[in-house]
Amino acid sequence: MNFKVGRACPQRAEPDVFQARRAARRERTRPTFDSFMGRVHGPKARELPGNRETRLTSLVPVEAFVNRMLHCTTMVRRVLKLLHGLSLPAVLFGIFFIPGNAAGQQRSVADAPLNVLTQAVQVLKLSPSEASRDYPVRLRAVVTFFEQRTELCFVHDETGGVYVYLKNWARPARAGDVVEVTGTTSAGTFSSSVKQGDLNVIRPGQLPEPKFIAIEQLSAGRDDCRWIQVEGVVRRAVENWGHLLLDLVAGPSRLKVRILEREPGQENLLIDAKVRISGVVSSSHDRLKRLDGFHLMVPGMAQVKTLEPAPADPFSRAQRTSRSLKMKLPGEELDHRVRVRGTVTMHWPGKVLFIQDDTGGVQVRTEQNAPLAPGEVVDVAGYAVLAEGASTVADGIFRSVSQGEPLRPAVATAGEILSGAFDHRLVRLDARVIASADDSPEIQTFSLRAGKESLRAILPKTQGAVPGSRILPNTHVQISGVCARDAGMPALGSFVIWLRSPEDWVLLEQPSGSPSRLLNWRFWLPGMAVLWAFGWVLWLRAGVTRKAEALRLREASLAERQGERELRKALEERERIARDLHDCIIQSIYAVGLNLENCKRLVTEKPAQVEGQLAKVRADLNSVIRDVRNFILGLESEALKGQEFKTALKSIVLTLGEPHALRFGLQIDPLAAEELTSHQATQLLHIAREAVSNSVRHARAERTVLSLQPGEGQIRFEVRDNGMGFDPAAVGPDQRGLRNMATRARELGAAFSVVSQAGQGTRIVLDIPVKNPHESP
């Protein structure tokens, strides 16, 4: 479904012929930065990517300086030419003062504060470039259409209508509410709109008086977002996204109407009724944001007024013949249904139906899926399409009247078919096969030649398929089917023969010599040689693939072992630093404390020595600060990649020493590890280090397993042991290990749980949501 209108991205720019002409004259007379760089540095300087605004930032000051100097040079030439004979001071004044003054004026205009827009027409009159400057908007208007689910909000004041994209769609509003809208301007996809809007409902009100517009005038685009009124005949009504979707027709013009609030069953009462509808005009775009028309957005059935109700029985109108469908009868309105009766010649359920009476054939475009058999007499109600020349009915419905005998096809030549003499009639034709195509999921296509003429035949795949042995090139066949001009499928060409089943394809003569060719060794021996060569190539390719896979696995194993060695080396280095901290800095701090205690004693016993002792303490503290700063610069944590997680866990376990390491088991799924982001892997490693330490120091477990397994939308990391266990509810605030684990789990957005009982081991579980590995934490 593609009715929603996005209005946040500029798609077009309003032309300014006069500005374009002035710009062209300036470009012809004034050298530019690009031409200057081309003269100085050669062709490469002109190949800098992007336009003037998106060049490398390092060139921006140079560009500004060069353009200023070139502009000054041009001004010098003009002043010397126009003011020839003036003194040198006057010339210099024109060179340096006038460009500087103009630049100052430009800067003052760019820096001027933006006016607050208080009318919808002020927003709509902005060009895309001006609307992108984020003018502040404050409107008092009436809501003409509002739906939270599809994020559609239109408001209208006395000057016009505008689309508003809200910051908060949770605030409800209804059509007719008087609101105050605040926000900023946006270029939108078709016309300027309001973004980052806030909607403040002041009071309930009434919808504005609509402006009557003919449907064909909407294609001009002047009434986008405006509250209007249209008239037409409802040709089609279906439920779509919980809305009622109408096709409104007035003459050759067609308009999609989407009604927000409806009651079930109303669509059947509207088809073929003439109505007057009030709503908001909304531009519609495809997936590439190209304009494909306009829709009318209607708040509810209260805005739909029936002018002429539809007949209770759609088949109650006077019966027409196939020939009379090509003309307008006196007193008849072309926008309403017609009724025609005929015998079914071909039916593709849900797509197309062909019937035939004594005056000719009729093509019926219908979405009705009830099956019909050839020979069945049916009544058809639909809308005559006069523009196509042949008898065609669009948006048709049908009902069976009686069973009859299938019609006999008329014998025709290719020339008669191409002349249009047998449009929509059942014909029979002798032809030879040129080619066939089976690349469409819906139809089988045949190219035929009859005499000097070429034409095509198609067979819907729902009716079966013609065997390949009967469609070889140059095969002589007799086909029966319905001749149709275009048949609603322009890609097939101007004339097509619609086959009803594979029985309509009768084989008359196979291509000469085709069976003996298959038995001649001159043909099958080269084919066997080609097959043998192809098999040999596949065998060689499989061998190369196996060797490449083995080489990749070996390189991956070497890389894993190398990463393990490097990570273990890094962890050992950090352990060494920790020991140095304990043996050096902590001891130094302890010595400072002892010296301070000594100072306290000297204050009372030997005051004269206190100053010297304090100087020594200050020197010791400065030394400790230098040592701490040096350690801090070397202790910043490094980011861990997901694929390195298993290697890091191995290193943590191995640093415990061989007796303890043998008690640990790792069950790490490689795909789950690949899903971890760098931040997740690093945090999990900290949690694992604390869990491993607890298992060794407190649990006294004989076996501890660390596992990482994928789940549905999450990854589960689990640590379980068979140790002493404990009561999680009895953990005090001084137990920092579990508190740190829970804090890190919250940072990951993971579900954290601890299951343990005395004597039954411990189980720690984290369910981590899956993230893109390239996302920031």
Please give the backbone phi and psi of residue 258, each rounded to the nearest 5 degrees, phi first: -115, 120
Task: Note the helical H segments in 42-173.
Answer: 43-46, 60-82, 88-110, 120-124, 128-131
Residue 685 banded pLDDT, cuts 50, 70, 90: confident
Share of the chain above pLDDT 90, in %: 35
The region of weakest confidence among 655-669, 672-686, 720-734 is: 655-669
* Domain 642-769 in CATH 3.10.20.30: no
Please report, as a single letter, which amino acid is at residue 291: L
pLDDT at residue 636 in the model: 43
pLDDT at residue 54 in the model: 34
Residue 432 banded pLDDT, cuts 50, 70, 90: very high
Reference 430, options 420, 442, 416; nearest CA is: 416
In terms of Cβ atoms closer than 10 Å to its own Cβ (0-12, 13-18, 19+), residue 38 is middle
Reference 457, options 419, 504, 406; nearest CA is: 504
CB 197 within 8 A of CB 181: yes
pLDDT at residue 226 in the model: 94
How far from chain centre, in Å, is Cα 264?
32
Distance CA(698)–CA(726), nearest Å, equals 10
Instruction: Check whether 285 has a pLDDT greater than 60.
Output: yes
pLDDT at residue 764 in the model: 93
pLDDT at residue 279 in the model: 97
Query: If you search the block for the tokens 């109303």, which residue do you land on?
Result: 266
Q: What is the rounded average pLDDT for all residues in the chain?
A: 79
User: 393 — alpha (psi -120 to 50), left (phi > 0) or beta?
Assistant: beta
pLDDT at residue 78 in the model: 66
pLDDT at residue 389 in the model: 64
- Beta strand pairing status for 360-366 and 352-357? antiparallel
CB 434 within 8 A of CB 476: no
Instruction: Check whether 280 has a pLDDT greater than 50.
Output: yes
Residue 342 tokens read as: 């005929």
Check residue 770 and report its DSSP letter. Answer: P
Residue 251 banded pLDDT, cuts 50, 70, 90: confident
pLDDT at residue 112 in the model: 67
Residue 634 banded pLDDT, cuts 50, 70, 90: low
CB 343 within 8 A of CB 375: yes
For residues 598-613, give the mean pLDDT: 81
Query: If you search the block for the tokens 């020493």, which residue do you land on?
Result: 657
Share of the chain above pLDDT 70, in %: 75
User: pLDDT tens digit string along 737-756?
Assistant: 788 888 888 888 999 999 98
Instruction: Check whether 387 has a pLDDT greater than 80.
Output: no
- Residue 256 neighbours by CB under 8 Å, 6+ apart: 3, 245, 246, 247, 248, 284, 293, 295, 296
Distance CA(298)–CA(367), nearest Å, equals 25
Distance CA(477)–CA(479), nearest Å, equals 6
Please give the backbone phi and psi of residue 147, each rounded to the nearest 5 degrees, phi first: -150, 125
Instruction: Check whether 265 has a pLDDT greater than 80.
Output: no
Measured CA angle at 230 (ends 227, 234), to 5 deg? 130
Residue 42 tokens read as: 């050669």
Instruction: Sketch the domain layout of the chain as residue ranges.
Output: 31-110, 120-203, 211-308, 319-402, 410-516, 523-634, 642-769
pLDDT at residue 75 in the model: 67
pLDDT at residue 46 in the model: 34
Helix (H) or strand (E) holding 434: strand 426-437
User: pLDDT tens digit string along 292-340?
Assistant: 889 999 999 999 999 999 998 989 888 899 888 877 776 667 788 899 9
Please give the backbone phi and psi of residue 249, each rounded to the nearest 5 degrees, phi first: -120, 135
For residues 160-181, give the mean pLDDT: 92
Domain 410-516 is classified in which CATH homologous superfamily? Nucleic acid-binding proteins (2.40.50.140)
Instruction: Check whether 37 has a pLDDT greater than 50.
Output: no
Q: How many CA atoms lie within 13 A of 525 on its CB side?
A: 3
The correct CATH number of 120-203 out of 3.40.47.10, 2.40.50.140, 3.30.1050.10, 2.40.400.10 is: 2.40.50.140
Residue 288 banded pLDDT, cuts 50, 70, 90: confident
Distance CA(499)–CA(508), nearest Å, equals 17
Residue 77 banded pLDDT, cuts 50, 70, 90: low
The region of weakest confidence among 37-41, 122-126, 298-302, 633-637 is: 37-41
Instruction: Check whether 621 has a pLDDT greater than 70.
Output: yes
Q: Just give the CATH number of 211-308.
A: 2.40.50.140
The region of weakest confidence among 27-41, 165-179, 315-329, 659-673 is: 27-41
Distance CA(612)–CA(624), nearest Å, equals 19
CB 250 within 8 A of CB 215: yes
pLDDT at residue 516 in the model: 42
Question: Radius of gyration of the chain from Cα atoms?
Answer: 42
pLDDT at residue 399 in the model: 94
Please report, as a single letter, which amino acid is at residue 12: R
User: pLDDT tens digit string along 78-118?
Assistant: 655 655 555 555 545 554 544 555 455 555 555 668 899 99
pLDDT at residue 727 in the model: 83
Distance CA(33)–CA(64), nearest Å, equals 8
Instruction: Check whether 371 has a pLDDT greater than 60.
Output: yes
pLDDT at residue 120 in the model: 94
Please report, as a single letter, which amino acid is at residue 410: A
* Fold agreement between 319-402 and 642-769: no
Residue 278 banded pLDDT, cuts 50, 70, 90: very high
How far from chain centre, in Å, is Cα 48?
31
- Beta strand pairing status for 453-460 and 443-450? antiparallel
* Domain 319-402 in CATH 2.40.50.140: yes
pLDDT at residue 203 in the model: 94
- pTM beyond 0.75: the answer is no
Residue 28 banded pLDDT, cuts 50, 70, 90: very low
The region of weakest confidence among 25-39, 142-156, 512-526, 721-735 is: 25-39
Instruction: Check whether 184 has a pLDDT greater than 80.
Output: yes
